[in-house]
Amino acid sequence: MDPDGAGLVGYWDFDAGSGQPVLDLSVAANHGFLGTDGNLAGDPADPEWVSLDVEFRRADCNADGQTDIADAISVLNYLFGPGAEPPCGDACDINDDGSLDISDAISSLADLFDPTFPPIPPPHPGCGADPTSDGVNCSAFPPCP
């Protein structure tokens, strides 16, 4: 892991060496989930968890370092237009419901223009790790250290 937040900078060659076999059981929001027998519910010492939390700013979907109307447009471009998948889905999951959908664009606009709208979930307005474990991930977010 890179201490300056660049994420995973190495890998484990599962075919090298001898000893107890290890399976790569990575799923959903887990980055580097390792186990020895494939049993996810059994032995509390197996599997081992490795977390590579990327810091991001929720609602900064276009990762330009600010939250503005361009973020709602980025969500809509991804959902309905020619927009590419965002590098940090968590930043675009503006209402933190675990999915990228039109409600995220609505939440972005409501946050900008409706002072009575509930606040955007953390990490917002600053940078931080996602406090919610869901299927939406963040591989990189350059504006955050």
Q: What residue segments make up the domains of the chain, in order of their start?
A: 1-52, 54-145
What is the model's pLDDT at position 7? 54
CA distance 13 to 10: 10
CA distance 18 to 8: 24
Q: For the structural domain made of 54-145, what CATH number should be given?
A: 1.10.1330.10
pTM > 0.75: no
CA distance 134 to 119: 20
Determine the distance from the C-alpha atom of residue 99 to the mean position of all C-alpha atoms in its chain, rounded to a whole number.
11
Q: What is the pLDDT of residues 10-39, one digit of tens each?
A: 555 555 556 555 554 444 444 444 444 545
Low-confidence ranges of the chain (pLDDT < 70): 1-52
Q: At what angle do helices 102-113 and 69-80 cross, to 10 degrees?
A: 170
Q: Residue 56 is encoded by which pair of tokens? A: 């991001």
Q: What is the pLDDT of residues 130-140, one digit of tens each?
A: 998 888 989 88
